[in-house]
Copies of this chain bind each other. A is one copy, B any other.
Amino acid sequence: MEIVMDAQALNAFLAADFPQVAGSISVQSVAQDRLVARLRVEDQHLRPGGTVGGPTIFALADVAIYCAILSRIGPVALAVTTNASIDFMRKPAAGGELLAECRILKLGRSLAVAEALIFSDGGADPVARCSMTYSIPPKRPENSGL
């Protein structure tokens, strides 16, 4: 499926529609098989020990997967996460930024499934693994799919 929004378009969409995340999460690259998003770590994300907490990792994966879906279907602000499964596998590097590498596994008419691996910037082993299902609203809004 063709890419209809590139990194610049996705970041502009985030800035307009999700200003509260756009300051810390941005799309770095969009390719046919992989979207990469980056989290700039701020004090509010840190847990004792100086590492990023689970909710922030969840937010990074969620934004990355959302953008990966939008990169194929365009700016559908109403797509919503219906299921998420995360494995937290390693402690992130203290103070470092995080990267999410995201891949779409299914892009159906009403459901999309994608997965993301989260890395500390420069780290070889994944910090976390996440898969999510998104519900995509039908084109005619009077006929809600959920």
Using a CB–CB cutoff of 8 Å, the interface residues on chain A facing chain B are 17-18, 20, 44, 46-48, 53-56, 58-59, 62, 77, 80-90, 105-106, 108-111, 113, 115, 117, 125-126, 129, 131, 133, 135, 144-146
Contacts and interface: CB of A to CB of B under 8 A. Distances in A.
A106 B54 CA distance: 17
A52 to B, nearest CB: 12
A145 B110 contact: yes
A47 B59 CA distance: 12
Give the most central of A47, A83, A108: most B CB within 10 Å: A83
A109 B54 CA distance: 22
A83 B88 contact: yes
A17 to B, nearest CB: 6
Contact of A89 (B59, B85, B106, B109): B106
A105 B105 CA distance: 18
Given A106-B125, A126-B105, A129-B131, A85 B82 contact: no
Contacts of A18: 47-48
Contacts of A77: 48
Nearest to A135: B111
Contact of A81 (B54, B59, B144, B146): B54
